[in-house]
Amino acid sequence: MNNALKKFYYRFYTPLPMAESEQKIETCHQQLIERLEKPERKLVLRIMDAQNLITEERSMDSFLCGFQLAWELAYELNHFETDRHPFPEEAERDA
């Protein structure tokens, strides 16, 4: 089920355009490349990769939680009328 939801996520999720933030990141990245030695650059890239992975996992988790909530709400709405208003024969039997 989780794989189906992941496919659903990737099919319909559209990332927000963040050109200004992405440009700031690229500018800072270029400055770091110019100032750091190779081992430090690798470390910074590992940090950036890990942070991107965390962001992606949080986005997926948020989608899955939202989907589960929507599923539970739909279930509740579909059963609301039957739980709230018993059929006339049931009401007469209970009386």
Tell me the pLDDT tens digit for each residue of 43-86.
988 998 999 999 999 999 998 899 899 999 999 888 876 655 55
Tell me the pLDDT tens digit for each residue of 13-53.
888 888 898 899 889 988 988 899 999 989 988 998 999 99
Q: How far apart are CA 27 and CA 29, in angstroms?
A: 5
**Residue 53: both structure tokens together:** 């992975």
Please state, in angstroms and as integers, the Cα–Cα distance from residue 78 to each residue in 42, 69, 82, following that order. Answer: 54, 14, 8
- Domain residue ranges in the chain: 24-94
- Provide CB contacts within 8 A for 29, sequence distance 6+: 44, 48
